[in-house]
Amino acid sequence: MSQLELIHVVRRYGPVGGMERYVWELTRELAQLGHHVTVVCERCHVDKPAGIDVHELGEIAPRPRWLALLRFGRRVERFLLAHPHDGSVIHSHERLRIHHITTFHGPPFATIFERPWWRWLSLRVAMQLFLERRELSQPQFVVPNSQFIKTLIAHYYPNLAQKMTEPIVPGVLAGAVRASRVVPPRGGVVGFVGKEWQRKGLPWVVKLVAALRVQRPELQLCVVGPEPAEVAHLFADWQGGYKLAGWSDQSPYPGFDVLLHPAKAEPYGMVISEAMAARVPVVISDVCGAAVHVTSESGAVLPLSAPLDAWVDAVEQQLIRAEDVPLFERPWRHVAQEYVRVYALIDRKRS
Protein backbone atom coordinates (compact mmCIF):
# COMPACT_ATOMS: atom_id res chain seq x y z
CA MET A 1 0.00 0.00 0.00
CA SER A 2 1.15 3.57 -0.72
CA GLN A 3 2.18 5.84 2.13
CA LEU A 4 -0.69 7.02 4.32
CA GLU A 5 -0.90 10.39 6.05
CA LEU A 6 -2.00 9.61 9.61
CA ILE A 7 -2.86 11.99 12.45
CA HIS A 8 -3.18 10.32 15.87
CA VAL A 9 -4.70 12.30 18.73
CA VAL A 10 -4.04 11.40 22.35
CA ARG A 11 -3.73 13.61 25.42
CA ARG A 12 -0.63 11.95 26.90
CA TYR A 13 1.86 10.57 24.39
CA GLY A 14 4.28 7.97 25.65
CA PRO A 15 4.20 4.60 27.44
CA VAL A 16 2.74 6.04 30.66
CA GLY A 17 -0.43 3.92 30.89
CA GLY A 18 -2.27 1.09 29.15
CA MET A 19 -4.05 3.22 26.53
CA GLU A 20 -1.00 5.41 26.08
CA ARG A 21 1.29 2.43 25.49
CA TYR A 22 -1.16 1.17 22.86
CA VAL A 23 -0.91 4.50 21.01
CA TRP A 24 2.87 4.71 21.51
CA GLU A 25 3.57 1.25 20.12
CA LEU A 26 1.00 1.56 17.32
CA THR A 27 2.28 4.89 16.00
CA ARG A 28 5.90 3.75 16.04
CA GLU A 29 5.03 0.59 14.12
CA LEU A 30 2.99 2.56 11.58
CA ALA A 31 5.98 4.84 11.01
CA GLN A 32 8.26 1.82 10.57
CA LEU A 33 5.83 0.48 7.97
CA GLY A 34 6.56 3.62 5.94
CA HIS A 35 3.52 5.76 6.74
CA HIS A 36 3.76 9.43 7.70
CA VAL A 37 2.58 9.74 11.30
CA THR A 38 1.70 12.96 13.13
CA VAL A 39 0.77 12.89 16.81
CA VAL A 40 -1.22 15.71 18.39
CA CYS A 41 -1.14 15.65 22.19
CA GLU A 42 -1.13 17.78 25.31
CA ARG A 43 2.37 16.63 26.16
CA CYS A 44 4.90 14.03 25.06
CA HIS A 45 6.11 12.32 28.24
CA VAL A 46 9.24 10.77 26.74
CA ASP A 47 11.78 11.68 24.08
CA LYS A 48 9.99 12.22 20.79
CA PRO A 49 10.48 9.16 18.57
CA ALA A 50 12.37 9.53 15.31
CA GLY A 51 10.23 9.63 12.20
CA ILE A 52 7.07 10.91 13.93
CA ASP A 53 5.94 14.56 13.99
CA VAL A 54 4.80 15.30 17.53
CA HIS A 55 2.84 18.49 18.26
CA GLU A 56 2.31 19.39 21.92
CA LEU A 57 -0.65 21.68 22.61
CA GLY A 58 0.07 22.24 26.29
CA GLU A 59 -1.27 20.57 29.40
CA ILE A 60 -4.77 21.32 30.64
CA ALA A 61 -6.00 21.19 34.25
CA PRO A 62 -7.22 17.58 34.59
CA ARG A 63 -10.31 18.37 36.67
CA PRO A 64 -13.16 18.40 36.06
CA ARG A 65 -12.42 15.67 33.56
CA TRP A 66 -15.27 16.49 31.18
CA LEU A 67 -14.07 20.08 30.90
CA ALA A 68 -10.48 18.97 30.29
CA LEU A 69 -11.69 16.68 27.48
CA LEU A 70 -13.80 19.45 25.97
CA ARG A 71 -10.96 21.99 26.09
CA PHE A 72 -8.48 19.54 24.59
CA GLY A 73 -10.89 18.75 21.78
CA ARG A 74 -11.23 22.45 20.96
CA ARG A 75 -7.45 22.87 20.90
CA VAL A 76 -7.18 19.96 18.50
CA GLU A 77 -9.80 21.53 16.22
CA ARG A 78 -7.87 24.82 16.17
CA PHE A 79 -4.67 22.91 15.36
CA LEU A 80 -6.33 21.10 12.47
CA LEU A 81 -7.73 24.36 11.10
CA ALA A 82 -4.25 25.91 11.23
CA HIS A 83 -2.53 22.92 9.63
CA PRO A 84 -3.97 21.72 6.30
CA HIS A 85 -4.55 17.98 6.42
CA ASP A 86 -6.35 17.11 3.19
CA GLY A 87 -6.05 13.40 2.53
CA SER A 88 -5.02 12.57 6.10
CA VAL A 89 -6.72 9.97 8.28
CA ILE A 90 -7.54 11.46 11.68
CA HIS A 91 -7.38 8.69 14.27
CA SER A 92 -8.64 9.65 17.72
CA HIS A 93 -8.07 8.00 21.06
CA GLU A 94 -9.93 10.79 22.87
CA ARG A 95 -13.36 12.47 22.97
CA LEU A 96 -13.08 14.44 19.71
CA ARG A 97 -15.63 15.89 17.32
CA ILE A 98 -13.51 15.73 14.14
CA HIS A 99 -12.06 12.31 13.30
CA HIS A 100 -12.39 9.48 10.79
CA ILE A 101 -11.75 6.62 13.20
CA THR A 102 -11.72 6.24 16.96
CA THR A 103 -10.28 3.47 19.13
CA PHE A 104 -12.35 2.84 22.24
CA HIS A 105 -10.03 1.79 25.05
CA GLY A 106 -12.38 1.51 28.01
CA PRO A 107 -15.93 0.71 29.09
CA PRO A 108 -18.48 3.27 27.85
CA PHE A 109 -19.54 5.89 30.37
CA ALA A 110 -23.11 4.85 29.55
CA THR A 111 -22.72 2.05 32.09
CA ILE A 112 -23.83 4.79 34.52
CA PHE A 113 -27.37 3.73 33.58
CA GLU A 114 -26.83 0.53 35.56
CA ARG A 115 -26.65 2.65 38.71
CA PRO A 116 -29.54 4.25 40.62
CA TRP A 117 -31.26 7.01 38.65
CA TRP A 118 -30.19 9.78 41.04
CA ARG A 119 -26.57 9.11 40.04
CA TRP A 120 -27.45 10.36 36.54
CA LEU A 121 -28.49 13.83 37.66
CA SER A 122 -25.38 15.96 37.41
CA LEU A 123 -23.61 18.21 34.94
CA ARG A 124 -20.65 15.83 34.99
CA VAL A 125 -22.75 12.87 33.86
CA ALA A 126 -24.57 14.89 31.19
CA MET A 127 -21.30 16.19 29.72
CA GLN A 128 -19.54 12.83 29.82
CA LEU A 129 -22.46 11.23 27.98
CA PHE A 130 -22.53 14.07 25.44
CA LEU A 131 -18.79 13.73 24.74
CA GLU A 132 -19.05 9.95 24.45
CA ARG A 133 -22.00 10.03 22.04
CA ARG A 134 -20.23 12.65 19.95
CA GLU A 135 -17.03 10.64 19.78
CA LEU A 136 -18.88 7.52 18.68
CA SER A 137 -21.31 9.16 16.24
CA GLN A 138 -18.85 11.26 14.22
CA PRO A 139 -16.28 8.80 12.78
CA GLN A 140 -16.63 6.32 9.97
CA PHE A 141 -15.26 3.49 12.12
CA VAL A 142 -15.22 2.64 15.83
CA VAL A 143 -12.52 0.14 16.86
CA PRO A 144 -12.94 -1.56 20.26
CA ASN A 145 -9.74 -2.79 21.88
CA SER A 146 -11.36 -6.04 23.06
CA GLN A 147 -14.45 -8.17 22.53
CA PHE A 148 -15.55 -7.14 26.03
CA ILE A 149 -15.62 -3.47 25.01
CA LYS A 150 -17.32 -4.26 21.70
CA THR A 151 -20.12 -6.05 23.54
CA LEU A 152 -20.63 -3.10 25.89
CA ILE A 153 -20.71 -0.51 23.11
CA ALA A 154 -23.16 -2.63 21.12
CA HIS A 155 -25.40 -2.89 24.18
CA TYR A 156 -25.52 0.82 24.99
CA TYR A 157 -25.28 2.15 21.42
CA PRO A 158 -27.02 -0.43 19.19
CA ASN A 159 -27.42 2.15 16.40
CA LEU A 160 -23.63 2.13 15.89
CA ALA A 161 -23.41 -1.50 14.81
CA GLN A 162 -22.54 -0.60 11.22
CA LYS A 163 -19.53 1.46 12.37
CA MET A 164 -18.02 -1.18 14.64
CA THR A 165 -15.02 -3.15 13.43
CA GLU A 166 -13.72 -6.36 14.87
CA PRO A 167 -11.65 -5.69 18.02
CA ILE A 168 -7.98 -4.84 17.52
CA VAL A 169 -6.44 -6.03 20.76
CA PRO A 170 -3.12 -4.74 22.07
CA GLY A 171 0.17 -6.25 21.04
CA VAL A 172 2.91 -7.37 23.37
CA LEU A 173 6.64 -6.79 23.28
CA ALA A 174 8.94 -9.78 23.21
CA GLY A 175 11.27 -9.73 26.19
CA ALA A 176 12.85 -11.80 28.92
CA VAL A 177 10.98 -14.96 29.86
CA ARG A 178 10.63 -16.85 33.11
CA ALA A 179 13.19 -19.63 33.44
CA SER A 180 11.86 -23.14 33.94
CA ARG A 181 11.90 -23.80 37.66
CA VAL A 182 10.14 -25.70 40.42
CA VAL A 183 8.53 -23.40 42.97
CA PRO A 184 9.60 -24.29 46.53
CA PRO A 185 6.69 -25.86 48.46
CA ARG A 186 6.96 -23.20 51.19
CA GLY A 187 7.58 -20.25 48.90
CA GLY A 188 7.14 -18.68 45.50
CA VAL A 189 6.50 -15.16 44.18
CA VAL A 190 3.05 -13.80 43.36
CA GLY A 191 3.04 -10.66 41.23
CA PHE A 192 0.51 -7.84 40.97
CA VAL A 193 0.90 -5.07 38.38
CA GLY A 194 -1.31 -1.99 38.08
CA LYS A 195 -1.42 1.69 39.02
CA GLU A 196 -5.20 1.70 39.51
CA TRP A 197 -4.79 -0.75 42.32
CA GLN A 198 -8.33 -0.64 43.70
CA ARG A 199 -10.05 -1.34 40.36
CA LYS A 200 -7.49 -4.02 39.56
CA GLY A 201 -8.15 -5.85 42.82
CA LEU A 202 -5.10 -5.37 45.04
CA PRO A 203 -7.09 -5.59 48.34
CA TRP A 204 -8.36 -9.02 47.21
CA VAL A 205 -4.83 -10.03 46.21
CA VAL A 206 -3.51 -9.11 49.67
CA LYS A 207 -6.25 -11.15 51.35
CA LEU A 208 -5.70 -14.08 48.99
CA VAL A 209 -1.92 -14.19 49.40
CA ALA A 210 -2.26 -13.88 53.18
CA ALA A 211 -4.43 -17.01 53.09
CA LEU A 212 -1.89 -18.80 50.88
CA ARG A 213 0.93 -17.88 53.28
CA VAL A 214 -0.66 -20.11 55.94
CA GLN A 215 0.52 -23.12 53.93
CA ARG A 216 3.38 -21.33 52.15
CA PRO A 217 4.95 -19.16 54.89
CA GLU A 218 7.81 -18.04 52.63
CA LEU A 219 5.52 -16.90 49.78
CA GLN A 220 6.30 -13.37 48.58
CA LEU A 221 3.95 -10.77 47.06
CA CYS A 222 5.52 -8.24 44.67
CA VAL A 223 3.34 -5.18 43.98
CA VAL A 224 4.31 -3.10 40.93
CA GLY A 225 2.48 0.11 40.01
CA PRO A 226 1.07 2.08 42.92
CA GLU A 227 3.17 4.39 45.04
CA PRO A 228 4.23 2.41 48.15
CA ALA A 229 2.74 5.03 50.49
CA GLU A 230 -0.65 4.61 48.79
CA VAL A 231 -0.98 0.93 49.61
CA ALA A 232 1.21 0.38 52.67
CA HIS A 233 -1.89 0.33 54.91
CA LEU A 234 -3.03 -2.89 53.24
CA PHE A 235 -0.04 -4.65 54.82
CA ALA A 236 -0.43 -3.29 58.37
CA ASP A 237 -0.80 -6.82 59.77
CA TRP A 238 2.02 -8.38 57.73
CA GLN A 239 5.45 -9.20 59.10
CA GLY A 240 7.45 -9.11 55.88
CA GLY A 241 6.66 -11.26 52.87
CA TYR A 242 5.92 -8.43 50.46
CA LYS A 243 7.67 -5.88 48.28
CA LEU A 244 6.18 -2.55 47.14
CA ALA A 245 8.16 -1.82 44.00
CA GLY A 246 6.38 1.33 42.79
CA TRP A 247 6.03 2.03 39.09
CA SER A 248 8.41 0.65 36.46
CA ASP A 249 8.33 0.77 32.67
CA GLN A 250 9.61 -2.81 32.69
CA SER A 251 7.67 -4.97 35.13
CA PRO A 252 9.78 -7.87 36.47
CA TYR A 253 7.56 -10.62 35.07
CA PRO A 254 10.33 -13.27 34.79
CA GLY A 255 10.71 -13.08 38.57
CA PHE A 256 7.05 -13.97 39.18
CA ASP A 257 5.77 -17.50 39.61
CA VAL A 258 2.17 -16.37 38.97
CA LEU A 259 0.47 -13.08 38.11
CA LEU A 260 -2.74 -12.26 39.97
CA HIS A 261 -5.20 -9.86 38.33
CA PRO A 262 -8.67 -10.04 39.94
CA ALA A 263 -9.83 -6.76 38.37
CA LYS A 264 -13.36 -5.50 38.97
CA ALA A 265 -13.52 -4.22 35.38
CA GLU A 266 -10.71 -4.41 32.84
CA PRO A 267 -11.24 -3.43 29.17
CA TYR A 268 -8.29 -5.59 28.15
CA GLY A 269 -5.48 -5.94 30.69
CA MET A 270 -2.14 -5.65 28.92
CA VAL A 271 -0.30 -6.90 32.00
CA ILE A 272 -2.00 -10.26 31.46
CA SER A 273 -0.70 -10.74 27.92
CA GLU A 274 2.70 -9.33 28.95
CA ALA A 275 2.94 -11.92 31.73
CA MET A 276 2.01 -14.76 29.36
CA ALA A 277 4.57 -13.46 26.86
CA ALA A 278 7.11 -13.93 29.67
CA ARG A 279 5.83 -17.49 30.24
CA VAL A 280 4.28 -16.55 33.60
CA PRO A 281 0.97 -18.26 34.48
CA VAL A 282 -1.94 -15.95 35.31
CA VAL A 283 -5.00 -16.11 37.54
CA ILE A 284 -7.50 -13.41 36.57
CA SER A 285 -11.14 -12.36 36.84
CA ASP A 286 -13.58 -13.07 34.06
CA VAL A 287 -14.24 -9.36 33.39
CA CYS A 288 -10.82 -8.86 31.82
CA GLY A 289 -10.83 -8.46 28.03
CA ALA A 290 -7.64 -10.52 27.81
CA ALA A 291 -9.46 -13.49 29.36
CA VAL A 292 -10.17 -14.74 25.82
CA HIS A 293 -6.44 -15.51 25.49
CA VAL A 294 -6.10 -17.39 28.79
CA THR A 295 -6.27 -21.13 28.22
CA SER A 296 -6.03 -23.84 30.86
CA GLU A 297 -2.36 -24.18 29.86
CA SER A 298 -1.80 -20.47 30.60
CA GLY A 299 -3.59 -20.18 33.93
CA ALA A 300 -7.11 -19.74 35.22
CA VAL A 301 -10.08 -17.37 34.84
CA LEU A 302 -12.48 -17.06 37.77
CA PRO A 303 -15.66 -15.07 38.37
CA LEU A 304 -15.31 -12.28 40.91
CA SER A 305 -18.10 -13.96 42.86
CA ALA A 306 -15.97 -17.09 43.40
CA PRO A 307 -15.14 -17.68 47.10
CA LEU A 308 -11.68 -17.04 48.49
CA ASP A 309 -10.97 -20.78 48.70
CA ALA A 310 -11.50 -21.13 44.94
CA TRP A 311 -9.03 -18.33 44.22
CA VAL A 312 -6.50 -19.76 46.67
CA ASP A 313 -6.77 -23.18 45.02
CA ALA A 314 -6.39 -21.68 41.54
CA VAL A 315 -3.19 -19.88 42.51
CA GLU A 316 -1.85 -22.96 44.28
CA GLN A 317 -2.43 -25.02 41.12
CA GLN A 318 -0.24 -22.60 39.16
CA LEU A 319 2.48 -22.65 41.82
CA ILE A 320 2.73 -26.47 41.74
CA ARG A 321 2.48 -26.80 37.94
CA ALA A 322 5.21 -28.79 36.23
CA GLU A 323 4.79 -27.53 32.63
CA ASP A 324 5.91 -24.18 31.28
CA VAL A 325 3.30 -21.70 30.11
CA PRO A 326 2.97 -21.58 26.29
CA LEU A 327 4.60 -18.46 24.88
CA PHE A 328 1.99 -15.81 24.06
CA GLU A 329 2.86 -13.79 20.95
CA ARG A 330 1.17 -10.79 19.35
CA PRO A 331 3.68 -8.40 17.74
CA TRP A 332 2.71 -4.73 17.59
CA ARG A 333 3.52 -4.96 13.88
CA HIS A 334 0.40 -7.12 13.48
CA VAL A 335 -1.68 -4.51 15.31
CA ALA A 336 -0.43 -1.81 12.93
CA GLN A 337 -1.16 -3.95 9.89
CA GLU A 338 -4.73 -4.54 11.09
CA TYR A 339 -5.24 -0.79 11.38
CA VAL A 340 -3.81 -0.19 7.91
CA ARG A 341 -6.54 -2.45 6.52
CA VAL A 342 -9.18 -0.29 8.25
CA TYR A 343 -7.53 2.96 7.09
CA ALA A 344 -7.76 1.69 3.51
CA LEU A 345 -11.57 1.71 3.80
CA ILE A 346 -11.80 5.32 4.98
CA ASP A 347 -13.02 8.16 2.80
CA ARG A 348 -10.34 10.71 3.63
CA LYS A 349 -12.25 13.59 2.01
CA ARG A 350 -14.48 13.65 5.08
CA SER A 351 -13.03 15.38 8.11
β-bridge pairing 89-92 and 101-104: parallel
Q: How far apart, in whole angstroms, are the C-alpha atoms of residue 180 and residue 7? A: 44
**β-bridge partners, 143:** 103
Per-residue pLDDT, averaged over 165-182, amounts to 94
Percentage above 70 pLDDT, the chain: 99
Residue 84: per-residue pLDDT? 86
Does residue 24 register a pLDDT over 70?
yes
Does residue 349 register a pLDDT over 70?
no
Measured in degrees and rounded to the nearest 5, phi and psi for residue 347 equal -85, 100
Residue burial 156-173, b: 16+ Cβ < 10 Å; e: rest: bbeeeeebbbebbbbbbe
Residue pair 273/24 in contact (Cβ under 8 Å)? The answer is: no
Which pLDDT band holds residue 278 (cuts at 50, 70, 90)? very high
Please state, rounded to an integer, the average pLDDT across all residues of the chain: 94
Q: What is the total residue count of the chain?
A: 351
Per-residue pLDDT, averaged over 245-262, amounts to 92
Which of 136, 125, 117 minimizes the C-alpha distance to 64? Answer: 125
Number of neighbours of residue 119 by Cβ within 10 angstroms: 11
Residue 1: per-residue pLDDT? 62
Q: How far apart, in whole angstroms, are the C-alpha atoms of residue 137 and residue 134? A: 5
Q: How far apart, in whole angstroms, are the C-alpha atoms of residue 82 and residue 16? A: 29
β-bridge pairing 141-144 and 189-193: unpaired
- The string of pLDDT tens digits covering residues 325-334 is 999 999 999 9
Q: How far apart, in whole angstroms, are the C-alpha atoms of residue 252 and residue 249? A: 10
Does residue 217 register a pLDDT over 90?
yes
Does residue 90 register a pLDDT over 70?
yes
Dihedral of the alpha carbons of 80, 84, 87, 89, in degrees to the nearest 10 = -20
Per-residue pLDDT, averaged over 145-166, amounts to 94
Does residue 291 register a pLDDT over 60?
yes
pTM of the entire structure?
A: 0.89
Does residue 311 register a pLDDT over 50?
yes
Residue 351: per-residue pLDDT? 47
Per-residue pLDDT, averaged over 16-28, amounts to 94
- The string of pLDDT tens digits covering residues 102-118 is 999 988 999 888 888 88
Does residue 33 register a pLDDT over 50?
yes
Per-residue pLDDT, averaged over 52-81, amounts to 96
Residue 350: per-residue pLDDT? 53
Which pLDDT band holds residue 86 (cuts at 50, 70, 90)? confident
